[in-house]
Amino acid sequence: MKDENKGEGNYKASKDFQKDQHEFAKDSDKVDAKAREAADALKGEEGDALEKARKESAEGHPKK
């Protein structure tokens, strides 16, 4: 069996992921539901931790 991975990454997994993301984005009901879920999470108990993680990732400082 030929190894399909070359260099870094898995091309098949990347292609599959991208296909799934495009399919998900086509379903506005799913997108709207996830947006509401995210907004609720920001307002809930985990809101502070989510905001901290967002700021750290925007600054390029992932949790170690």
- Count of domains observed in the chain: 1
Percent of the chain with pLDDT over 90: 64
**Range(s) of the domain holding residue 36:** 28-64
The pLDDT-based confidence of 63 (bands split at 50, 70, 90) is low
Q: Give the pTM.
A: 0.58
In a domain, 63, yes or no: yes
Structure tokens at 61: 């400082």
Q: Is the pLDDT of residue 57 over 60?
A: yes
41 CB neighbour count, 10 Å cutoff:
13
pLDDT one-digit tens code per residue, 16-41 = 999 999 999 999 999 999 999 999 99
Q: Is residue 53 a part of any domain in this protein?
A: yes
- What are the angstrom distances between the C-alpha of 39 and each of 5, 33, 49? 38, 10, 14
Q: Alpha-carbon distance 7 to 62, whole Å?
A: 24
Give the closest residue to 21 by CA, choosing from 9, 11, 30, 8. Answer: 30
Q: Is residue 49 part of a domain?
A: yes
11 domain-assigned: no
